Structure 1
C-alpha cells in the first residue's frame, strides 16, 4: 500500500518563522561585533516582529536592515541588508544557514568602538502598523554593497544577505 503525505505551509507560518529566525541571525551579528543585543530584542518585542509579520504575510516587506553608527551622526559605519523574496524554494522545508552568515561576519570591517545600531524595515505600500513610522537611511559614504547569498529559505519566502564594505 502506498500513502502520500502532504504538508502545507501558510504564509502566516512562514512569516512567523522568517521573523523569528531573522531576529536570531541579527542578534548573532550584533553579538559578534561586541554590542549588547538588548536593544534588538526589545525592539523585536516592541514593534519589529509585529511589523515584519504583517508585511511578510502581505508580501510587502522587501528587506530587513541593520545600520551601525555613532550616536549623533548621520553616517552609517556598517550596514547589513537582508532582502526578502516571495518565490520560495518550492520544497516543503524551512532552513537557516547560520554557518554561512557567521562565515561572512568578518568580510566587512567591524564597526568602530562607540557605535550603536538600529533596525529598519523596508515595506513600500505595506499597511500601517501601530508604533511604526518612516525614517531615512543613514548616509553610506564610501560603503559599497556586496551580495552574499541566501540565509533563510521556506516554501514561499526567502531571505538573502548583503553586507556593505
Structure 2
C-alpha cells in the first residue's frame, strides 16, 4: 500500500508566517544598530502585525520599511526596505535566511547614536482599509538602495531586503 501526502498552504498561513519572520528580522536589525527593540514590539502588537498580515492576505502589501533617523530630522540616517512579492518559489516549503540577512548588516551603515526608528507599510492601489494613514517618507539625502536578496520565501509570498547607503 502506498501512502500519499500533500501539503496545502493558504495565503492566511503564509501571511502569518511572513509577518512573524519579518518581526524577527527587524528585531535583529534594530539590535545590531544598538537600539532598543521595545518600539518595534509596541508597534508590532499595536498595528503593524494586523495591518501587514491583512494586506499580505489580500496581496496588497508592497513593502515594509524601517527608517532610522535623528528626532526632528527631515532626512533618514538609514533605511531598510523589505519588498513583498506574491509569486511562488516553486517549492512547497517556507524558509528564512537569517544568516544571509545578518551578513548584510556589515554592508549597511550603522545608524548614529541617538537615532530612533519607525515602521512604514507601503500598500498597492486598491488595498483594503486596514486603518493606516498616509505618512511621507523621510528624505534620503544621497542614500541609495542596495539589494541584499531574498530573506523569506513561502509558496506564494516572498520578501527580500534592500539597505540604503
Distance in 2 between residues matched to 1:157 and 1:90, nearest whole Å = 11
Distance in 1 between residues matched to 2:3 and 2:90, nearest whole Å = 21
**1:32-89: CA deviations, max 9, x gaps?**
0000000001100000001001100000000110000001111011000000010021
Distance in 1 between residues matched to 2:74 and 2:4, nearest whole Å = 56
Distance in 1 between residues matched to 2:90 and 2:56, nearest whole Å = 17
- The residue correspondences of 1:17-96 to structure 2 (distance < 5 A) are 17-96=17-96
1:127 pairs with 2:150? no
Distance in 2 between residues matched to 1:74 and 1:141, nearest whole Å = 9
Distance in 2 between residues matched to 1:129 and 1:158, nearest whole Å = 21
1:157 pairs with 2:163? no
Q: Which residue does the alignment assign to 2:141?
A: 141
Distance in 2 between residues matched to 1:51 and 1:90, nearest whole Å = 27
What is the RMSD of the two structures over their aligned residues, measured on CA atoms?
0.8
Q: How many residues align?
A: 164
Distance in 2 between residues matched to 1:73 and 1:94, nearest whole Å = 39
Q: Which residue does the alignment assign to 1:3?
A: 3
Q: CA deviation at 1:124?
A: 2.5
Distance in 2 between residues matched to 1:88 and 1:38, nearest whole Å = 33
Structure 1 residue runs of 5 or longer lacking an equivalent are none
Structure 2 residue runs of 5 or longer lacking an equivalent are none
Distance in 2 between residues matched to 1:64 and 1:109, nearest whole Å = 19
